[in-house]
Structure 1
Amino acid sequence: MDFFSQQDRARRNTRYLLVLFILALSLLVLLTNALFTAFLWVGRDYNIYVGGSGWEGYLALFSWERFGTIGLAVTSTVGFVSLIRWLQLASGGRAVAESMGGRRVMRQSADPYEQRCLNIVEELSLAANMPVPALYVLPEERGINAFAAGINPTDAVVAVTRGAALQLSRDELQGVVAHEFSHILNGDMRLGIRLASLLKGITFIGDVGHFLLRMGAYGVGRSNRRSESSAALPILGLGLMIIGWLGSLAAGFIKAAISRQKEYLADASAVQFTRDTSGIADALKVIGGFLPGSLVHSARAPEMSHIFFGEVRHRLWDGFATHPPLDMRIRRLDKNWNGQFIQRPEVRYATGPLSENHTQTGVGRAALVAAAMASSLSDQSPATGSSPATEDADFALQNNTTEQIPEALHTAVTEPLGATAAALALVTARRNSKQLEATLNVLREQGVQGQLELVLSLLPQVRALGPGHRFPLMAAAMPALKNMSTPQYRQFKTTLLSLIRSDGQTDLFEWCLFQLLRHYLDPEYLRVENSRPRYRHIAKVRAPLRQVLSVLAHQGNGDSSQAFALACNDLQLTQMTLIPLEQCSVAEFSRGVHTLADCYPLLKPRILKAMALAAADDGAVCPVERELVISVAAVMDCPLPPELSLG
């Protein structure tokens, strides 16, 4: 699956959505004008209109001035409602999950089913080379369903229903979550939020009609004096409700037109992530044989039906379904399916230990990731799940070292104070004895109570970490870092930046660490402006590419000139020369990376591929090169899919 092509297709689908929205809005304007004209025409007893009858009398009421006024009113109302809905949903996936009744799952959760979901999300995050998204559970939903929400991967969340957590085996749940991860990487989430916002504007007219219908009935019932002035309101309200119903049909058609093909793509991507077709195929079979199916009873679910794994409501006609039929999805994954769904007794409570069926290790790529995470610890800790170790640990951690993350260090980063202390310790550990006192003074002045002591306690273990384990440690800390309050995050960010500047210079690792944390945490707490595509052709970014590729070429153990030339040849850039190491600065490198972030989606994978070729020029990707490429990909808002992973 070419995730970058799908991201570009998602951008084109946004334009397609806009065209369909304009057509639907035009239809609503015409219908509203027709309704208002009919309202005038039938107002015979209230002297609203006195004139001819029949079709000619109806047409005689038409007025271009009234048409423009009504059209402007409808367009303004729809636009205003869509904007308000966009602002509500654009705050991140958390707002969507909480509006559905979701509850965030913490690492400290004692529920074994929730722990298993957390482990799966972490495994797939490592497999996708992206930060761990927050996990939510919909505790009141018996149906088997899930969704991913957010504007971009930095503020994404994954949510599963309680039914999915209880009813599915580990392999099946892994397939469902992998399906949602593909929506994150394919760029479907932003399209889904835009779709929900625009369609809310279209269906709002029906809400107005319902309000007028109730107000009219209320006015008639109150007094005879008010009845003459309000008796026409139910007629107008009923008409608007009918228009709103037609708008809902148009909204359903738009959702079906855009969403259904994406579900097939996401199913295929889930197979690519897990290297197994049976997991997601069996999950679909379980839904077919499960009485509640994939139904979701949240009041907001129909509005957001297009972001779910399965249908949230029964439909009399599949023409407006946002998802393909189950049997068609299953047959694309399992060509030998006999047509029988999986019947499984419903699990209603999750108080005991997991059964053998629910603790089996995942398969393929994500299973190796889980095994590697387990083997990276000196002992098995409760926070790491029950996945057994394998000899292929370095595959998941993307490095060739055999050093281990201490258990105490891994445990510390599962809560916010320990996670922030670990990040600060990573910077402090790079200071020599002369610089250390100045660094500690920064912590004394700006650190929160108890943070200095915790940093000092973690410092020996952090110093013992090899470069290949620094970013995996931060990946493990990311969920805890997202649990801070906004004032706590601002304080942490200020302290980290002061710590980096305390020695008067910023080295490459410090830049990578700060950019990685800023990029993935800022959207959780602050309103940030995403980069906008500006550069469609590689020639437009020659200068920043030269800076970035030169810095990367100097980090490896091989011939830097050869590595630089290899990347330039892959990008078909001629007459570009390597910048000498002494002329490479972190400041220029940073400016170059942020310029590359403004490239068009299909240009970014070419750049990342060229960087990967340069990093692997000497036959091995060292941890520093890997950290550099991952940080650049993060700033470019371009998660590394499996085919571009650095091994």
Structure 2
Amino acid sequence: MDFFSQQDRARRNTRYLVVLFILALSLIVLLVNALVTAFLWVGGDYNIYVGGTGWKGYLALFSWDRFAIIGLAVVSTVGFVSLVRWLQLASGGKAVAESLGGRRVLRQSADPYEKRCLNIVEELSLAANMPVPALYVLPEERGINAFAAGVNPTDAVVAVTRGAALQLTRDELQGVVAHEFSHILNGDMRLGIRLASLLKGITFIGDVGHFLLRMGAYGVGRSNRRSESSAALPVVGLGLMIIGWLGSLAAGFIKAAISRQKEYLADASAVQFTRDTSGIADALKVIGGFVPGSLVHSARAPEMSHIFFGEVRHRLWEGFATHPPLDRRIRRLDKNWNGQFIQRSEVRYATEPLSANDVQTGVGRAALVAAAMANVALPDEAAIATDGQTIIEDAEFSQDQRVTEMVAENDLLGETVEQIPEVLHNAVLEPLGATAVALALVTARRQDDTLNAALTVLKEKAARGQEELVARLLPKVSSLGPGQRFPLMASAMPALKSMSTPQYREFKTTLLSVIQSDGQIDLFEWCLFQLLRHYLDPEYLRVENSRPRYRHMAKVRAPLRQVLSVLAHQGTGDSARAFALACEDLKLSGLQLLPLAQCSVAEFSRGVHTLADCYPLLKPRILKAMALAAADDGEVCPVERELVVAVAAVMDCPLPPELALS
């Protein structure tokens, strides 16, 4: 699956959504004008108007001035409501999850089913080369469902219902979570938030009608003498409710038109992540044979129905369904399905024990998944034209074969992860330890005077207990190789995201002070700080995301030269050859490698942030060129890999499996 083509498709779908929204809004303006004219015709003395009674008299009441005023009022109201809803939802996936009744799952959870979910999220995060998103559970929902929410990958969350955590096996749950990860990488989350915001503005007209209907009925009940105007108020309210109902119908059609196709693609992407069709297919079969199905009873669930894994409500007519029928989704995944759903006894409480394989830490397993994903041949963009069917067929092999491949890849990455001291794995499970590890990663690189300067900063600015913990962790952190540092920080993301806002501000200030304590910033310090800032700032601060500005490579020649020159100088081979290889892949002629003396971290940083404003389809080309340059000498060293991963993070462009460097 070409994730970046899908991100570009999501942008086109956004324009499609805007067109449908404008058409629906235009219809609402016409209907409201017709209703107001009818109100004047019924409530006033229409005989004074030229044209007399009947339809002729009704049409005589039409006024272009009134039409413009009413149209402006409707558009302003819908726009204001949509903007307010967007501001509520755009604060991050956390707001969406909590509005649906979600509860954050912490690493310290004693519930084995929740720990299993956390492990799966960790595995797939490392396989997708993206930070670990926060995990939420909907504790009151028996139905089997899940969703991903957020505006971009940096503020994404994954949520599962309690029913999904209890009823599904590990492989089935992994397939469901992989489906949600594909929505993150495909750019579907932002589209889902925009969809919910715009459609809230449309359906708000019905809320106004309900209010007027109640107020009119209340006024009539209190009045001894009913005037024609007061009698017409409930009629106006009823009319607006009908218009709101029609708006809801339009919203349903829009959601169905936008959402269905991306569900097929997300199913196919889940197969690509897990390399196994049975997991997600069996999860869909379990939903079909489970009495509550995928129903979600939260009051806000219908509004956000398009972001869920399955339908949240029963649909009387398939035309309003935001998801394809279960049997169609299953047959695309399992062409030999016999049509029978899986019947399974319901697990109501977390009382049944899970195996040690299910509840073990996900870091080691994630390493194996990432290693396997990094070396699997994937189909080309032609797979997209068949709704992912080629991907599904390509990935059809047995569970034993899948395990064999993962074990075979153990030498690539598993050994590296296993060498990370257990004390560091344990330290990153809670916020204080995670921040101490980050500070120790910077401090451990210092010697003599620069080390003393870093320790002095820690003594002055570190939080209570943090300085002592950094000192205890320094020997273990010093033993880490370059290839072990970023995986360790990736596993620390959930703990870092559980800090309070003042704690995060203090940690960020302390880290920056330690980095600057020697008067200079090297590439590793830049990469570490950019990763933490990019993935954590949206959790605590209001940040402005990069916007597409550059559609062609020619517009970013200068920053590309700077970034590729820095990368070329990091390898052990011929820097000029590596640089030329990257330029050839990007079809850029005339660029010359910058001397090492001109490759400053400051210029490199400015170049990367400029590249972050490229259009989505340019970003994977840039990352691919960087990968080619890094592998020019036959080996991608850990420093080069850290650099590419950090650049991808700042560009808000997660590395897909086919570009994973290992």
* TM-score for the superposition, normalised by structure 2: 0.92
Match of 1:609 in 2: 624
Matched residue type, 1:576: L
> CA, structure 1 residues 481+366, in 2 after alignment: closer, same or farther (shift >3 Å)?
closer
The SS at the match of 1:12 is helix
Match of 1:244 in 2: 244
Q: Could you tell me how far 1:46 is from its partner in structure 2?
A: 11
Q: Could you tell me whether the CA contact under 8 Å between 1:170 and 1:360 is conserved in 2?
A: no
Matched residue type, 2:435: T
Alignment of 1:1-150 (within 5 A): 1-43=1-43, 52-150=52-150
Match of 2:278 in 1: 278
The SS at the match of 1:243 is helix
Q: Could you tell me how far 1:52 is from its partner in structure 2?
A: 2.3
Distance in 2 between the 1:273 and 1:163 partners? 23
Alignment of 1:227-626 (within 5 A): 230-354=230-354, 368-369=368-369, 390=407, 392-393=409-410, 395-396=412-413, 401=416, 404-626=419-641
Q: Could you tell me whether the CA contact under 8 Å between 2:126 and 2:367 is conserved in 1?
A: no
1:54-92 deviations in whole A, cap 9, x for unaligned?
111110111111111111110000000000000000000
Distance in 2 between the 1:582 and 1:412 partners? 39
> CA, structure 1 residues 500+6, in 2 after alignment: closer, same or farther (shift >3 Å)?
same
Moved more, 565-574 or 166-175: 565-574
Matched residue type, 2:98: E
Distance in 1 between the 2:231 and 2:463 partners? 65
Matched residue type, 2:241: M
> CA, structure 1 residues 240+505, in 2 after alignment: closer, same or farther (shift >3 Å)?
same
Q: Could you tell me whether the CA contact under 8 Å between 2:121 and 2:132 is conserved in 1?
A: yes
Is 1:216 the counterpart of 2:216? The answer is yes
Moved more, 437-446 or 206-215: 437-446
Q: Could you tell me whether the CA contact under 8 Å between 1:273 and 1:366 is conserved in 2?
A: no
Q: Could you tell me how far 1:428 is from its partner in structure 2?
A: 0.4
Q: Could you tell me whether the CA contact under 8 Å between 1:403 and 1:466 is conserved in 2?
A: no
Distance in 2 between the 1:402 and 1:67 partners? 67
The SS at the match of 1:158 is strand
Runs (4 or more) in structure 1 with deviation over 6 Å come to: 45-51, 356-362
Distance in 1 between the 2:316 and 2:229 partners? 40
Q: Could you tell me how far 1:222 is from its partner in structure 2?
A: 2.2
1:155-193 deviations in whole A, cap 9, x for unaligned?
000000000000101000000000000000000000000
Moved more, 295-304 or 230-239: 230-239
> CA, structure 1 residues 49+118, in 2 after alignment: closer, same or farther (shift >3 Å)?
farther
Distance in 1 between the 2:357 and 2:156 partners? 29
> CA, structure 1 residues 606+644, in 2 after alignment: closer, same or farther (shift >3 Å)?
same
> CA, structure 1 residues 367+266, in 2 after alignment: closer, same or farther (shift >3 Å)?
farther
1:344-403 deviations in whole A, cap 9, x for unaligned?
1111000342169967999xx96833899xxxxxxxxxxxxxx99946335456xx8577
Distance in 2 between the 1:33 and 1:229 partners? 18
Q: Could you tell me whether the CA contact under 8 Å between 1:146 and 1:160 is conserved in 2?
A: yes
Matched residue type, 2:197: S
Q: Could you tell me whether the CA contact under 8 Å between 2:47 and 2:53 is conserved in 1?
A: no
1:444-483 deviations in whole A, cap 9, x for unaligned?
1111111100110111100011111100110011001001
Distance in 2 between the 1:254 and 1:276 partners? 32
Q: Could you tell me whether the CA contact under 8 Å between 2:367 and 2:413 is conserved in 1?
A: no
Q: Could you tell me whether the CA contact under 8 Å between 2:147 and 2:307 is conserved in 1?
A: yes
Moved more, 177-186 or 218-227: 218-227
Matched residue type, 2:271: V
Distance in 2 between the 1:213 and 1:357 partners? 59
Match of 1:379 in 2: none
Distance in 1 between the 2:434 and 2:359 partners? 28
Q: Could you tell me whether the CA contact under 8 Å between 1:46 and 1:228 is conserved in 2?
A: no
The SS at the match of 1:554 is helix
Q: Could you tell me whether the CA contact under 8 Å between 1:444 and 1:452 is conserved in 2?
A: yes
> CA, structure 1 residues 514+197, in 2 after alignment: closer, same or farther (shift >3 Å)?
same
> CA, structure 1 residues 370+551, in 2 after alignment: closer, same or farther (shift >3 Å)?
closer
Q: Could you tell me whether the CA contact under 8 Å between 2:127 and 2:367 is conserved in 1?
A: no
Matched residue type, 2:82: S
1:70-127 deviations in whole A, cap 9, x for unaligned?
1111000000000000000000000000000000000000000000000000000000
The SS at the match of 1:611 is helix
> CA, structure 1 residues 99+576, in 2 after alignment: closer, same or farther (shift >3 Å)?
same
Match of 1:207 in 2: 207
Matched residue type, 1:603: L
1:407-448 deviations in whole A, cap 9, x for unaligned?
111111111111111100000001102222211111111111
Matched residue type, 2:421: P
Q: Could you tell me whether the CA contact under 8 Å between 1:369 and 1:396 is conserved in 2?
A: no
Which ranges in structure 2 are unaligned for 5 or more consecutive residues?
373-402
Distance in 2 between the 1:534 and 1:359 partners? 45
1:280-339 deviations in whole A, cap 9, x for unaligned?
010000000000000000000000000000000001100111100000101111111111
Distance in 2 between the 1:539 and 1:646 partners? 27
Matched residue type, 1:186: N
Is 1:641 the counterpart of 2:656? The answer is yes
Moved more, 520-529 or 387-396: 387-396
Distance in 1 between the 2:282 and 2:47 partners? 66
Distance in 1 between the 2:357 and 2:448 partners? 53
> CA, structure 1 residues 533+195, in 2 after alignment: closer, same or farther (shift >3 Å)?
same
Which ranges in structure 1 are unaligned for 5 or more consecutive residues?
373-386
Matched residue type, 2:29: V
Q: Could you tell me how far 1:42 is from its partner in structure 2?
A: 1.9
> CA, structure 1 residues 352+47, in 2 after alignment: closer, same or farther (shift >3 Å)?
farther
The SS at the match of 2:136 is strand
Matched residue type, 2:537: D
Distance in 2 between the 1:624 and 1:368 partners? 21
Moved more, 629-638 or 63-72: 63-72
The SS at the match of 2:160 is strand
Q: Could you tell me how far 1:223 is from its partner in structure 2?
A: 3.2
Q: Could you tell me whether the CA contact under 8 Å between 1:289 and 1:341 is conserved in 2?
A: yes
> CA, structure 1 residues 340+465, in 2 after alignment: closer, same or farther (shift >3 Å)?
same
> CA, structure 1 residues 371+584, in 2 after alignment: closer, same or farther (shift >3 Å)?
closer
1:628 aligned to which of 631, 636, 643: 643
Moved more, 102-111 or 230-239: 230-239
The SS at the match of 1:108 is coil
Q: Could you tell me how far 1:503 is from its partner in structure 2?
A: 0.3
* TM-score for the superposition, normalised by structure 1: 0.94
Match of 1:196 in 2: 196
Moved more, 1-10 or 559-568: 559-568
Matched residue type, 1:146: A
Distance in 2 between the 1:460 and 1:195 partners? 51
> CA, structure 1 residues 154+357, in 2 after alignment: closer, same or farther (shift >3 Å)?
closer
